[in-house]
Amino acid sequence: MWALLLLLPTVLCLSPAGPPQERTPLFRLTQQGPWESGASNGTASPCEGLPLAGATTLTLVNRSLERLPGCLPRALRRLDGSHNLLGALSAPELGHLPQLEELTLRHNRIAALRWGPGWPAGLRTLDLSYNRLAALPPCGGPALPSLRALALAGNPLQALQPGAFSCFPALRLLNLSCTALGRGPQAGITDAAFAGAGGAPLAALEVLDLSGTFLPRVHSGWIRDLPKLTSLYLRKMPQLTSLEGDIFKMTPDLQQLDCQDSPALTSVHTHIFQDTPHLQVLLLQKPSASLSKISCPFRRIFLYA
């Protein structure tokens, strides 16, 4: 039986995110002055004199910006405004950037967010990790029809309402790691949180990261709306104790289940894997009593002590 289990501590080196993406700004704003005075009146930043007109990639990191400058080039496709002081984000600020595909605003102070018409229709990647979002705004229609990746890691989100992501019909990767989901009196992830428009499933989502959250379990009530899920990350979840029930019944494409460093996870009912014929990688903290009963022919199971 144990011959099935490869003891490979080296799996610790596997990165869930894959190789880091190359970001090569065409140029970088280096001008000092009002940008960094800290007392600037937000959008009033002097873009004059900067070679902005044709720029498609711009990095405005760590410039004490309270708002996105209004004078950014219309051709912009990628904007990194991480490590600033932005407090809110909505369509009016982005309406003049119709070509935007990738917006990175990690480590700001965004507490208010509004989806809706006016967001750049071609936006594919939105990274709002490490902001101050305590709740997500309701989704109206398909506000961001092209959005593939949404990162909300490190926000103080405690709960997700039904249909929270229904305005992103093309969403493939959703990163909710290190949020406060499961902490506090609210339900964490409510049933139908991942339901799409009209209650249909969120049919494109492949990767879900819930690592570092406080959820005690995976519920079929929400995971059933992710029929294309291939990778589920449940790392470093202090309150995750068991995986059981028919949780994977509706996710037959699951290939990777990563539960590394979730110390309380002692009960993994092996029948849950009858529903995951394509599972290739299973990462667990340690061999638990119930796991020793595993009899399914996995291709790779990594356990580490």
Where along the sequence are the contacts to ligand NAG (CB under 6 A)?
16-17, 41, 44, 62, 83, 129, 151, 153, 175, 177, 207, 209, 233
Q: Which is nearer to ligand NAG, 62 or 267 (CB)?
A: 62
Minimum CB separation of residue 41 from ligand NAG in Å reads 4
∠ CA(235), CA(238), CA(243), 5° rounding?
A: 65
Q: What is the DSSP string of 155-212?
A: -----B-TTTTTT-TT--EEE-TTS-TT-SSS-SB-TTTT--GGG---TT--EEE-TT
Residue 9 burial (10 A CB sphere; 0-12, 13-18, 19+) = exposed
Residue reference for tokens 């101050």: 132
Rounded to 5 degrees, φ, ψ at 4 are: -70, -20
- In the complex, what is the shortest distance from the CB of residue 2 to ligand NAG, in angstroms, rounded to a whole number? 30
- Min separation Cβ 140 and ligand NAG, Å: 26
Question: Cα 266 to chain center, whole Å?
Answer: 26
Q: Which is nearer to ligand NAG, 72 or 151 (CB)?
A: 151
* Minimum separation from the CB atom of position 289 to ligand NAG (A): 29
The nearer residue to ligand NAG, 143 or 174, going by C-beta atoms, is 174
| Distance, CA of 221 to CA of 226 (rounded, Å) | 11
60: CB partners within 8 A, 6+ apart: 29, 69, 79, 80, 81, 84
- The alpha carbon of residue 168 and the mean position of all alpha carbons in its chain are separated, in whole angstroms, by 13
Q: Which is nearer to ligand NAG, 39 or 305 (CB)?
A: 39
CB closer to ligand NAG out of 129 and 158: 129
Q: How far is the CB of 73 from ligand NAG (least distance, A)?
A: 18
| Residue 131 or 175 with smaller CB distance to ligand NAG | 175
Kindly state the tokens that stand for 51.
Answer: 């070679």
Q: How far is the CB of 161 from ligand NAG (least distance, A)?
A: 21
Q: Which residue is nearest to ligand NAG (CB)?
A: 44
